[in-house]
Amino acid sequence: MAQNSQKASVRFENVEKSFGAVQVLSNFDLEVEPGEFVVLLGASGSGKTTALRILSGLEQPSGGNVYIEGRNVTEMLPKYRNISMVFQSYALYPHKTVAENIGFPLKVRGVPKAETDVAIRDAARQVQLDQLLERYPRELSGGQRQRVALARAIIRRPSVFLMDEPLSNLDAKLRGHMRAELKHMQQSMGITTIYVTHDQIEAMTLAHRVAVLEKGVLQQLASPAEIYNDPANLFVAQFIGSPPMNVLHGSLDGEHFVSSGVRIDTPVGGRIDKAIMGFRPEDCSVAAPDAGTVKGTIYTNELIGDHALVTVDWGKDQISVKAPKDFNGRQGDDIGVLIPRDHLFVFDAQDGRRVR
């Protein structure tokens, strides 16, 4: 049988990666605790998959070092790193049964057949595939194929799981189901997991901590709650949240944000000619036109189900407000928006820096 899994720590130390003149990772530092589930979150081209490939040994860094369980593995071949990788494409062998696909890593290692058969059944049971072992990939649904790929990763008993957008090929309902299964499995097995996605819902629901990347630079590393409630900068603030954070353009004058002739109290102070005020749609509320912090006109009113999403034109900006589901304001109506001081963020528009 493959060596028993252990909870391994992972560390990136000043990792750089360039492809020609394009720098994909810049001074990347990240420490993952044993047994932790860390999600690398970012848009396409942010460097998240490159970081995963460097950790797996499929890509060499241009600079810096990578450590697994305290060992420098930067120059080590992938097969000696004791990791398992699950890809977006599942990468199953179409001519092999589910059992043969799951057991393939042990067959390559020459593990005896009796021992391999026990391990296959054990891994299949963990992902609820024990009734489908004789089927072929073409006879499976997308979710079942994904579970085969997971079982094949589990059977190696790795010290680290690496997952690259493993749910992106599934439909929305199945994605939600597989998210719950992944989270349950990782917590049950306790294997250190590094997971790459551009989907903020996956990041927020799965991770112990989220690492937000933009253009190869780590913007913030924190728990999902901290990333959401205490973003480090404007990029993180706008990247996390659906609908995204409202941003109003103006200036910071002492402890007031000034825009479109309105002065709004802020919890921070300073003087910035070009400032941005941010607040979340669920933290503001609709009010009578003269009772709001600001007054605008309704652009749209959309019933989402458990709430109405009201978009309000104000100055050169638009404000999204989560309103009660029975709110019946119409396009063009005047409306007030109450913006609570305690839930405001202020950023420097020049560099996106958070004003604290």
- Over pLDDT 70: what percentage of the chain? 98
The answer to whether 68 and 7 have CB atoms below 8 angstroms apart is no
The token duo for 226 is 């901290």
Which pLDDT score, from 0 to 100, does residue 288 have? 96
3-state helix, strand, coil in the chain (%, to 5): 25, 35, 35
Pairing, β 37-41 against β 192-197: parallel
pLDDT at 256: 96
- pLDDT score for 314: 96
pTM of the model: 0.89
Q: What is the pLDDT of residue 184?
A: 87
pLDDT lower than 50: segments of the chain: 1-5
Provide the pLDDT for residue 242: 87
Q: What is the pLDDT of residue 6?
A: 62
Q: For 356, how many CA atoms within 13 A lie in the half-sphere containing its CB? A: 6
- Residue 3 is predicted with a pLDDT of 41
Contacts of residue 162, defined as CB under 8 A and 6 or more positions apart, other chains included, come to 52, 55, 56, 83, 84, 85, 86, 193, 194, 195
Both tokens of residue 328? 């019946």
